[in-house]
Amino acid sequence: MSRAALLVLADGRFPAGGHAHSGGAEAAVKAGRITSAASLEDFCRGRLHTAGLVAGALAAAAALGVEPRELDAAADARTPSPALRGAARRLGRQLMRAARASWPSAELDALAGEFPKGAHQPVVLGVAARAAGLGPADAAYCAAYESVSGPATATVRLLSLDPFDATGVLARLAPELDRVADAAVEAARRVLDEGVDALPAASGPVLEIGAEWHAAWPVRLFAS
Amino acid sequence: MHLDHTHHGPAAVSADAHRPDGTRRALRIGLGGPVGSGKTATVAALCRALRDELSLAVVTNDIYTREDAEFLLREAVLPPERITAVETGACPHTAIRDDISANLEAVEDLEDEVGPLDLILVESGGDNLTATFSKGLVDAQIFVIDVAGGDDIPRKGGPGVTTADLLVVNKTDLAPYVGSDLARMAADAKAQRAELPVVFQSLRAEPGVTDVAAWVRGRLTAWAA
């Protein structure tokens, strides 16, 4: 399989529903926590080391062939907010459709059959990476990058932030993305011996609270 | 389009004409057009005209609220379980063209939950003249403009005006008040669209949505054939 499949899977235009989600940025903008490129960077750094790390480890473990049902339950346990669980499953279902069309595979079909309303997105991402012939590090990079690229893109729309500044934020976070992806893969390999309890359980309480607050708004631009 | 090799399990891919259980899915018709041109009013009128003869449902793509869905609910054009709102993340054209996954789920869930359905109307959030629906999402599309938006819109063209399966020029009752020349709009639309149909309508007076409803019935006949 081609390494370039990673570019297809990680492309922001891969049609898997992400464009309608802000990764918590809309709530953070409204609460005044994101007001500029500098505060966007702080927000993204926090999300990378919490939600991003967990998503990366889940994706890497799924790419290694760990039982998706166990990973999905582990993802639920690491996602206190019902709104975020719902968003993760919707995104997982949307990614499933794009992945099955792109890399038809029996494992994806089985996962779709088991979770018709969607498994957690990072779990689907890992199985999709596997179907594309990619490895755990590729899956971890995709998940970790998505954890910051989503909020950055959304903030460009929400604050009319200069898009070059937002892209600069992502570029400056690249070395930390490397470290998070490495840690995620290391944890995923431990899952093979120790089970899903070896997955990281880093969490950002303000992200969880913000997601519940956001889900109750009558007027909003993004689905989460 | 036939990308689903397995033919079992959930979620046929995109435009596959059959559902996973082998039955023919509902015809899907998209309605797009600029803000305020009367898309939601046309959807409401179509529901009233067709609901007694067809099993139908509606998906709305509001830009930042559930206002269009709530209008349809308030008007009680269909039971609430037949109306679904999709959130579009500030980019309504993306949700109907570039990344249609949320809309596909909405139409599939409607068929699962309130089906069998004959027809699903997918209404875009008000957008610009370049917004068109993906063929992976809808089988045919209606582009709705209105006379008050300027009688030069048909001349300006754009993918919606030029390529939609049906162009609806709405609010013809306002033409005298806004100085729009309907004959000119018709001639310009003909020049842009050749043989593709155009309907001029006013929902304020008879015959209202009759012509558009007749066009929808024609598409349904062709779909079921």
Alpha-carbon distance of A130 to A147, in angstroms, equals 20
pLDDT for B48 beyond 50: yes
Domain boundaries, chain A: 20-215
| Model confidence band, residue B5 (pLDDT cutoffs 50, 70, 90) | very low
**Cβ–Cβ contacts within 10 Å for residue B7, how many?**
12
Write down the ipTM of this complex.
0.84
3-state SS class at A115? coil
- A185, A201, A174: which is closest to A77 by C-alpha? A201
Q: Given this model, what pLDDT does residue A48 score? A: 98
- Name beta bridge partners: B166: B142
Q: What class does CATH assign to A20-215?
A: mainly alpha
Query: A16 and B101 in contact by Cβ < 8 A?
Result: yes
Chain A positions in Cβ-Cβ contact with residue B4 (cut-off 8 Å): 100-101
Alpha-carbon distance of B193 to A50, in angstroms, equals 54
Name which of B1, B84, B99 to mutate to probe chain A: the one with the most chain A Cβ atoms within 10 A of its Cβ.
Answer: B99
- Report the pLDDT averaged over residues B106-128: 92
- Report the pLDDT averaged over residues B99-113: 94
- Report the pLDDT averaged over residues B110-135: 90
Backbone angles phi and psi of A45, in degrees to 5: -65, -40
- B221, B212, B40, B34: which is closest to B123 by C-alpha? B40
- Report the pLDDT averaged over residues A43-70: 98
Of B4, B14, B95, the CB nearest to A20: B95
Q: Is B3 on the interface with A (CB under 8 A)?
A: yes
CA distances, A79 to each of A43, A61, A92, A170, A174 (Å): 18, 17, 14, 25, 25
- B195, B189, B42, B12: which is closest to B111 by C-alpha? B12
Domain boundaries, chain B: 27-224
| For A22, nearest residue in chain B (alpha carbons) | B89
State the DSSP H helix or E strand holding residue A3, giving kind and residue range, or none if neither: none
DSSP B171-190: -GGGHHHHT--HHHHHHHHH
Per-residue pLDDT tens for B64-78?
767 788 888 888 899
In single-letter form, the type of residue at position B208 comes to G
Q: Which residue would you say has higher pLDDT here, B154 or B62?
A: B154
DSSP chain B: -----S--SS---TT-SB-TTSSBPPEEEEEE-BTTSSHHHHHHHHHHHHTTTS-EEEEE--SSSSHHHHHHHHTTSS-GGGEEE---TT-HHIIIII--HHHHHHHHHHHHHH---SEEEEEPPSB-TT----TTT-SEEEEEEEGGG-TTHHHH--HHHHH-SEEEEE-GGGHHHHT--HHHHHHHHHHHHTTS-EEE--TTSTTTTHHHHHHHHHHHHHHH-
- A29, A91, A25, A26: which is closest to A55 by C-alpha? A91
Query: Which CATH number is associated with domain B27-224?
Result: 3.40.50.300
Please give the interface size between A and B, counted as residue pairs whose CB atoms are below 8 Å apart.
85
* Token pair for B2: 């036939």
Question: In A, what residues contact B, Cβ < 8 A?
Answer: 13, 15-22, 90, 93-94, 96-98, 100-101, 104, 109, 112-113, 116, 154, 157-158, 218-223
Of B5, B89, B104, the CB nearest to A20: B89
How high does pLDDT run on average in chain B? Answer: 89
Alpha-carbon distance of B101 to B104, in angstroms, equals 5
Of A19, A218, A220, the CB nearest to B91: A19
Binding residues of B for GTP: 33-40
Q: Given this model, what pLDDT does residue B9 score? A: 44
Q: Given this model, what pLDDT does residue A75 score? A: 98
Q: Kindly give the pairing relationship between strand B166-170 and strand B198-200.
A: parallel
Q: Given this model, what pLDDT does residue B89 score? A: 79
Backbone angles phi and psi of A34, in degrees to 5: -115, 115
- What residues of chain B, 31 to 90, have a C-beta less than 8 Å from chain A? 63-66, 87-90
Query: B11 and A218 in contact by Cβ < 8 A?
Result: no
* Token pair for A83: 């709104």
Query: How many Å lie between the alpha carbon of A7 and the closest alpha carbon of chain B?
Result: 17
Q: Given this model, what pLDDT does residue B13 score? A: 56
Percent of chain A scored above 90 by pLDDT?
A: 96
| Model confidence band, residue B15 (pLDDT cutoffs 50, 70, 90) | low
Q: Given this model, what pLDDT does residue B22 score? A: 78
Q: Given this model, what pLDDT does residue B70 score? A: 86
Backbone angles phi and psi of B130, in degrees to 5: -95, -5
| Model confidence band, residue A168 (pLDDT cutoffs 50, 70, 90) | very high
